[in-house]
Amino acid sequence: MVKHRLDYKMNEMGDLKFTTAGDMLKQQERDEIMNRLREGEVTVTFTKVNGDKRVMTCTLNESVLPPAKKDEPLTQKKVRAINPEVCSVWDVNAQGWRSFRWDNVVEVE
């Protein structure tokens, strides 16, 4: 498998614009996106596993996330394998947890 560097530009609004779809994000770029997710809402455009394009407004901001409930397995504190190639986020429009694969990210605003 050939990997290409993901090129991006930051516009005057501070939004990252990825210019090469399907390329792997470098760890530094992932960290920057994660920091933005913790600070507020971020719009991520990515290609779903089935090939569909998806635009999602999401966050990891503690003030927006729902409280953990004991009866919901996804919010319980458990030991489970973490896949570093997948990012789990709160979809602010669907009001639910969603995820995307880092290598399928096309644009971040």
Tell me: the pLDDT tens digits for 34-93?
Answer: 999 999 999 999 999 899 999 999 999 999 998 876 665 555 555 456 788 899 999 999
- Cα gap 79→75, rounded to integer Å: 12
Q: Are 47 and 103 in contact (CB under 8 A)?
A: no
CA angle 40, 44, 46 (to 5 degrees): 160
* Mean pLDDT in residue range 7-29: 56
Q: Which pLDDT band holds residue 22 (cuts at 50, 70, 90)? A: very low
Query: Residue 3 above 60 pLDDT?
Result: no
- What pLDDT is stored for residue 104 in this prediction? 92
